[in-house]
Each structure stands twice: as structure tokens, then as C-alpha cells.
Structure 1
Amino acid sequence: MIKVLAIVLVFGLLVFIHELGHLLLAKRAGILCREFAIGMGPKVFSFVRGETRYTLRLLPIGGFVRMAGEDPEVIEIQRGQDVGLEFDQDGLVTRIVLTDILHHPHATIVTVEETDLEHNLFIRGTEDGEPVRYALHPQAKILHKNEETQIAPYDRQFGGKTVGQRAAAIFAGPMANFLLAFVLLTGLGLAYGIPANDPVMGRMIPGQAAQKAGLQQGDKVISIDGKATHTWKDIVQVVSASPNKKLNFVIERDGGQFALPVTPGTDGKVGKIGVYAPTSKSVIGAAKYGAVTTYEFSKLIYTMLGQLFTGQVPVQELSGPVGIFKYTGDAAEKGLMILIQWAAALSVNLGIMNLLPLPALDGGRLVFIGIEAVRGRPIDPRKEGMVHFLGFAFLMVLILVVTWNDIQRFFS
């Protein structure tokens, strides 16, 4: 149960923060965001606040922000169609009723001849045989089969914004993941302290070699087998190279010095005594730890990507959703600190993967926006849509491959 809860919370948090980044920058640019969704597939729960519907969907595999203009509008008003119009006190159309018009007795029935819902915002037709033309409110809604859809004037659509505004809205998702990793790791540093390099014993693991030998948290290690220790790394190097070998620790405690024999256990072929590195707590230190560790995670992921593309790491070693779920569950079993570190690493990974210049990913969309900035005009939306569709299909195939690898690795 703990594993399942950890998986839901970690993945829910990562996706929520990623999509929230898109949403906030899109709204800041004035883009109409029709839906903010966590998960895919059928709706489980939803509510409307302002102009946006917030949705929880059944399948816990990602999420999305549906911005006006990114996809063709699904509701079209045909010439010759009868519609019901409702007005505000200024005479602007606030609602266009397409179905069950007779159930709206206050609506004015108009036979449509022409509509412009994007630029000039009007609807023209005939009312009782007389020609009429009505102006639309910029936030007018279309009622179709008991569902309301707000119209999207061009200046509220994704494509109606500047290159910079669109790029910012796309980049904000991955950037939010980097910020989440920084916040998680900074919080970890504040709560648990940040690793120090002093030759001092940190927290003991019960029942391990250090505690059995009589070492205590706060003991300063002067030397091991006559070799002076100046840093924590000095201690780690000696212990790691001495599995099952008795070592003579000279300890400083309460102003006095004395010797203690310690025999490291083994973890594989590496010596371990069961003690954590010393830690220190400070706001500045925690923030520095958060920034540095986020950078180190990023550098490691880019290194692994480079090895993947050069063939140094085979595709068979990649993990998909199944593998990531398993590792998240394993991290949860090791404690909250390990789970938070794992969540931060996953958040960095999600940010970097989305920035890859591949179709259907945020990075691929940024490439198209960059090309538009250079050439001075956008690429044909149909061609761009086809590229993203093919890219999405490729990603789905890749996910199936790595998922099959995970199944063979963990369940064979």
C-alpha cells in the first residue's frame, strides 16, 4: 500500500508541477486555456473555475494543458443553421445555443449566414425574414448538447501570441520540473541537514559495525591504522577498501582521545561500517545543496543520454513506466529521504526529456517556434501537426519497447 501511495503521489506531483508551469505562463500571456488535466483517458472528476476546466483522468500517464488554437475547434456553426442568441445589457451576444433552442425561451432565433468567431466577432443572418448582424462578446459561449465552450478570439489563441510568449509557455513546463527538484532538495537539506566533509561520525545505523564497536555520532576520527584522516572522504576510502578487516580507529570524544577496533562489514566487495556522513543545517547551505545537486543530476542524465546515442548504453537497459514505478516503490521502502531524492531526480529527468528536440515533446515544439522566429513566418500548421503526430507515434513505440524490457527484467 505504501508503494502504491508513493507512486501516485510522486508521479502526480511531477505531472502537476509540469503542467502547472505551462498553465501559469499561458494564462500570463493571455492564452485561453480550455482544460488542465492530470492523467489521460476518460474523466474521473472535473470542475470549472474561471475559463478553465480542471480534470482528473483515469490513466495516470501524464497530463496536458489544452490551449485554444492548438487544435481545431470541434464546434462549427454552419450556414443556414438556426441558433439561439442570448445578450447582455450592452446588446452583445453572450451565448449561442445550438441544440434544444426551444428550451431557451429568452433566446433570439437567427438563421445563420455568416459568422466570425476569431477576428471581427460577429454573427450575421436573418431573424423573422429580416437581415440582422450582432456583435459577439469576446467571452461568449457556445452551448451544444448541454456543454458550454467559450469562443477563442485570435488574440486569445496560442498562435495569436508572440514568439516569445509562446516559447515561454512551452518552456515553463520543463522549467517547473527543475524548480521542483531544487525545492525538494533544498527542503531535504533543511530537514535532514546537508552532507559535510569533516572527519566526524554522523547518524549511526542500528546493529551495524560502527555502533557495535562503540562509535557514537559526533566522534571525530583522528586516524585509522595510523593514517591521519582530515576529511570524511578519507574515512570512506579506507573503510571501502577494507571489508572484513579489523581497523584501529583513533577517536576524539569530549576532549579526550582513545582507540577503538572496528571491523567493516561488506556490501558486495566494498567495506561498510553503517554510519552516515556528518551534516550541517543552514538556509544558505540548503539552497546551495539544492542547486548543486540539481545541476549534478542534470549533468548525469545528459551524460547517460550521450552514452545512449553513441551506443555505449544499449536500449535494452532503458526503463519505462513499469521500471520507474518499481524503483519509486523501492525508494519509498528505504525511507522518506531516499524517496524525496528519487522524486527530485525524476523531476530533473522529466524536464530534460521534455526539452529534447523531438517531435511531440516540448523541445520539438520549441524547435518549430525557433524556426518561425528565424524565417519570420510560421510553418504550415498541417505540416507541423503531421511531424508531431509521427513523433508521438514513435514515442509510443519506444515506450512499448522499454516497457517490454521492464517486464522481462522484473518478471521473467
Structure 2
Amino acid sequence: MQTVVSFIIIFGTLVFVHELGHLIFAKRAGILCREFAIGFGPKVFSFTKNETVYTIRLLPIGGFVRMAGEDVEAVEIKPGYRVGLKFDRDGKVNKIILNNKDKYRDIKVIEVEEVDLEHKLYVKGFEDEEDQTLQTFEVHPKAVVVQDGVEMQIAPYDRQFSSKTLGQRTMAIFAGPMMNFVLAIVIFMVMAAIQGVVTDEAKLGKLTEDGAAISAGLKANDEVQAINGSEVSSWQDVQQEIQKHPGKEIEFVVEREGKTLEIPVTPKEVERDGKMLGVIGVYPPTEKSITGVLAYGFTETYFWTKQIFTLLGDLITGQFDIDMLSGPVGIYVSTEEVAKSGLIYLLKWAGVLSINLGIMNLLPIPALDGGRLAFFAVEAVRGKPLDKQKEGMVHFIGFALLMLLMLVVTWNDIQRFFL
């Protein structure tokens, strides 16, 4: 149960923050965002607030923000349709009812002759078949079209994604991956605030209860001056001297509360990467400071960003096998293992996953944010956008291929962990 909760919280947070970036910058640009969704497939839960439907969907494989003008609008009104019009106090149409009109009171039913819900916002029509007087009705910019009892707000052109400047559109798309990097920085800062920031002092940090250090009489915060006659000036020096003497007694010279003490310690033997190393059960020294916490968030994010790009390079050059990729199942299993190690390791895992999600979405792959940004780059060079239908087809094919890859990776995960 702990694993399930950890997975839901981590995965849900990563997707939520990513999509929140899209939502915030899209709304700042004045784009009508129809839906903010976590997951794909059938709706499990939904509510509406400030023009946007917020939903949780069944399949936990991502999320999306549906912006006006990006998808084919589900409702289209053509000349010849008989529709019901409901008006606000100012006399503007605030509801256009397509069917089941008998369920609504105080509506005017007309036969549509002409309609424009994108630019001039009006609907023209005849109220009576015998009286062919053409009437024009002004439509409110936030009017809704009602079909089968379901309301959908109209999207005037200035509320559509494509009406915005290249900079606004670019920021609305880039904001998703950007927020994943911001989240990683915050997570690593929280880690540093909890456990402290590792320093390179020749000093002992926290001691493990079953280690050789605590048994020999060493204490946390002891300042190490020398080990086996060799002077040390950093934690790295201390660590190297300990590792060089597995199973052999070594003498620590430490300063504690103004006194110099000589304490013999015998490091335990452990095997790492085929080599026998000495360990005494001591953590590196840490400190807690505002500047240290802030710096750690950025340096750790930079470190893991480089690591992930290195792995991507191996994938491109063929040194990284597809079987090493993991989908939701693999992430779930890894989360289970990490959760056993405690909160700090779980936070670190969430930070690394957030960076990974940000980088993957920035790759110039159709259907991903990076693919869309690549099209914007071409638009910037050409001075005009590419054909919308052709771009849509490229993204559709890219999405289909990504779903296929997801199925392959998920099947590999199931075989590796459960079969």
C-alpha cells in the first residue's frame, strides 16, 4: 500500500506540475483552456472552475491541457439548423441550444441563416417560417453551445491558441518541461533542508549504530587531523584512507572539544565493483544554511541533467538497450525499492524523475512539447506557420508511435518483473 501511495503521489505530482505550467502560461496569454486532465481515457472525476474542466482520467500515463483552437471543435452550427437562443440581461445571446429545446423556458427559436462565433460574434436567422424577416442577434464572448444537455463555451478567435504571438505560444508549450525542472530544484532544496548539505571538511558526520566507528569510540562532529600518520584536510581524504584499509586497524587522530584523541578503528570489509573496500559506518559531514540549501537545489539538478543526457547519448550510439527503458510499470517497481530506503531517497527519486520528464518532453519528437517547439522554430525562420493540417498529421503519427513504444516498454517491464 505504501508503494501504491508513493507512486500515485510522485507520478501525479510530476504530471500535475508539468500540465500546470502549460495551463498557467496559456491562461496568461488569454487562451481558453477547455480541460486540464491528469491521465488519459475515461473520466474518473471532474469539476469545472473558471472556464476549465479539471479531470482525473483512468489511465495514469500522462496528462494534457486542451486549448481552444487546438482540437476540432465538437459542435458546428450550419445554416438551416433550428436552434434556441437564450439571452442575458443585456440582450446578448448567452446560450445556443441545439436540441431538446422543449426543456428550456424563455428561449427564442430561429432557423439559422448565418453564424459567426469566432470573429464578429453574431447569429442571423428567421424566427417564423411565414415571416421571413432576417434578424441579427449579438452573441456574448463567453456564450455556450448546448447539445444533449452538455455545455461548451464558444472560443472567439482571440481566445484561440493560434491567434497568439509566436512568443506566447512558445512559452505556453515550453512552460510544461520548465516546471519539471523547477519542481526538481525545489525537491532537492527540501532534501538539503532536511538532511543538510554535504561539505568537504575533514569531519565526521552521523554514525551508523552498527558501524566500526561508533564501536571504536568515534563521535559525530569529530574533526579528523590524521589517519595512520597521514594528514587529511577533506572528507574525500578521510574516505580514501578508510577504503584503503579493509579489515586492518588504522589510527584516527581527532580533535574533540579542544582535546586531541588517538582512536584505533578497524574498517569492515565490503565488496564494491569487484574490489574490497573498508567502511566504518559514518556519513559525510553536513551543514544547514540558506545559501547551501539554495545552491544544492541547482547543482543537483544540473548534475542529474548531465547524467540523463549522457544516457540519451548512449541510446543514440547504440550503447543503451531498449530493454533498459522503463514505463509506468518499471517506475512503479523502482519506486517500491526506493521507498524501502526512506523519505530522502524517495525525494531524490522524484527529483530525478521530474528532470527526466522535463528532458524527454523537450526532445524534438512529434506529439511531444519538443516537437511542437521545433515547428515554432521553423515558423520563426520562415516568418509564417507551417500548414496546420500537415503539422497535425505529423503529431498524430508521432503520438501513435509513442503509444506503440509505450506498449513495448510496458510489456518488457511486465515480463521482467512479473513473468
- Report TM bin, short chain: over 0.9
Instruction: Tell me the equivalent position of 1:313.
Output: 320
CA distance in 1, matches of 2:386, 2:377: 11
SS at match of 1:284: helix
SS at match of 1:132: strand
CA distance in 1, matches of 2:398, 2:317: 21
Amino acid at match of 1:369: F
Instruction: Tell me the equivalent position of 1:109.
Output: 109
**Correspondence 1:220 to 2:223:** yes
Higher alpha-carbon deviation: 27-36 or 242-251: 242-251
Aligned with 1:359 (options 358, 361, 366): 366
SS at match of 1:293: helix
Distance 1:411 1:224, change over 3 A: farther
Aligned with 1:190 (options 181, 190, 193): 193
Deviations 1:305-345 (A, max 9, x none): 11110112222222222221111222221111111111111
CA distance in 2, matches of 1:294, 1:223: 34
CA distance in 1, matches of 2:386, 2:366: 14
Distance 1:212 1:267, change over 3 A: farther
Instruction: Tell me the equivalent position of 2:346.
Output: 339
Extract unaligned runs of 5+ from structure 1: none
CA distance in 2, matches of 1:405, 1:100: 50
Instruction: Tell me the TM-score normalised to structure 1 length.
Output: 0.97
CA distance in 2, matches of 1:62, 1:235: 45
SS at match of 1:66: strand
Deviations 1:29-60 (A, max 9, x none): 00000011111111111111111111111222
Instruction: Tell me the equivalent position of 2:134.
Output: 131
Q: Give the drift of 1:141.
A: 0.4
Q: Moved runs in structure 1, 4+ residues, more than 6 A?
A: none
SS at match of 2:360: helix
Amino acid at match of 2:343: L
Aligned with 2:376 (options 369, 372, 380): 369
CA distance in 2, matches of 1:126, 1:240: 91
Aligned with 1:243 (options 246, 249, 252): 246
CA distance in 1, matches of 2:260, 2:235: 18
Instruction: Tell me the equivalent position of 1:140.
Output: 143
Q: Give the drift of 1:267.
A: 4.7
Instruction: Tell me the equivalent position of 1:297.
Output: 304
SS at match of 2:210: coil
CA distance in 1, matches of 2:217, 2:62: 50
Aligned with 2:355 (options 336, 341, 348): 348
CA distance in 2, matches of 1:143, 1:350: 38
Distance 1:150 1:334, change over 3 A: same
**Correspondence 1:174 to 2:177:** yes
Extract unaligned runs of 5+ from structure 2: none
**Correspondence 1:12 to 2:23:** no
Deviations 1:319-375 (A, max 9, x none): 222221111222221111111111111111110110000001000000111111221
Instruction: Tell me the TM-score normalised to structure 2 length.
Output: 0.95
SS at match of 1:34: strand
SS at match of 1:164: helix
SS at match of 2:66: strand
Instruction: Tell me the equivalent position of 1:48.
Output: 48
Instruction: Tell me the equivalent position of 1:209.
Output: 212
Alignment RMSD (CA, Å):
1.4
Instruction: Tell me the equivalent position of 1:162.
Output: 165
Amino acid at match of 2:198: P
Amino acid at match of 2:50: G
Instruction: Tell me the equivalent position of 1:327.
Output: 334
**Correspondence 1:37 to 2:44:** no
Higher alpha-carbon deviation: 147-156 or 217-226: 217-226
Amino acid at match of 1:195: V
CA distance in 1, matches of 2:225, 2:145: 78
CA distance in 2, matches of 1:195, 1:267: 24
Identical aligned residues as a percent? 54
CA distance in 1, matches of 2:385, 2:369: 17
Deviations 1:207-232 (A, max 9, x none): 12222222211111222221111101
**1:67-82 alignment to 2 at 5 Å?**
67-82=67-82
Higher alpha-carbon deviation: 30-39 or 234-243: 234-243
Higher alpha-carbon deviation: 48-57 or 323-332: 323-332
Deviations 1:242-277 (A, max 9, x none): 333332222221222222232333153343322211
CA distance in 2, matches of 1:88, 1:8: 44
Q: Give the drift of 1:293.
A: 0.7
CA distance in 2, matches of 1:225, 1:409: 48
Higher alpha-carbon deviation: 93-102 or 121-130: 121-130
SS at match of 1:65: strand
How many residue pairs are counted as aligned between the two chains? 412
